[in-house]
Each structure stands twice: as structure tokens, then as C-alpha cells.
Amino acid sequence: MSEKTLHDIQQEVDQYISQFKTGYFSPLALMARMTEEVGELAREVNHTYGEKKKKLDEADSSIALELGDILFLLSCFANSMQIDLTEAHNKVMEKFQTRDANRWERKTDEQ
């Protein structure tokens, strides 16, 4: 399988959602669903790296699947508001590279 760009992912999600009459949920509903998914990610991280282990009858999931759910919902959110995630990412990276250019100690060649 070839690698997908953020643009490809957004298009794939849009093609999937476009086949349903309901279409995209409202921004508030999408935010609630994303919050729920972030909670599920937190639960998986806690099961994997924290003290709280899964119950024997608890469904299998993974950090990767939960991140995938968040990416899907993020794409839905962006698409519903006509936001290009690649463009948004580029703007954020520019902000980090300028505003936060000297915020953290950089690795040296010896590290």
C-alpha cells in the first residue's frame, strides 16, 4: 500500500462520508466525538504504560487504532469546515520553527 498524504486521507474520508444522507455531523457533535476518542486513547495509554491494566472481559484495542479513530474524526472535522489539514500543519510548523526556535535545548553532534 502506498503512503497517503493528509490530502489523500481527507479525500478518502470525504468519499466515505459523502455516501450517507446525514453527511458530516455538526462541529459540536464532532468535538464531542473527538473528546470521547481522546479519552479512549488515554485509556489505552494507561493500560499500556500505567498501573491500570485491562479487565479480562475488556475488548481489545490499541493505541494505534485509537489514533486512527482520532485521525478519522479530525479529517471529518476539517472537511466539514473546509480546512486543508496540510495547510494548517504547515502554518503550525512555521509557528513552532519561529516562535519556539530556541525554546528547548537542541541535540548536539555528540548526543
Taking all residues of the chain, what is their mean pLDDT, rounded to a whole number?
A: 91
Q: Is domain 6-99 annotated with CATH 1.10.287.1080? A: yes
Pair 48, 33: CB distance under 8 Å: no
For residue 92, pLDDT over 90 is answered with yes
- SS3 of residue 102 by DSSP: coil
Q: What is the pTM of this model?
A: 0.84
For residue 91, pLDDT over 90 is answered with yes
| Grid cell at residue 62 | 490499541
- SS3 of residue 64 by DSSP: helix
Share of the chain above pLDDT 90, in %: 68
For residue 110, pLDDT over 80 is answered with no
What are 35-83's pLDDT values in tens digits?
999 999 999 999 889 887 777 777 777 899 999 999 999 999 999 999 9
Q: What angle do CA 21, 22, 26 make, to 5 degrees?
A: 150
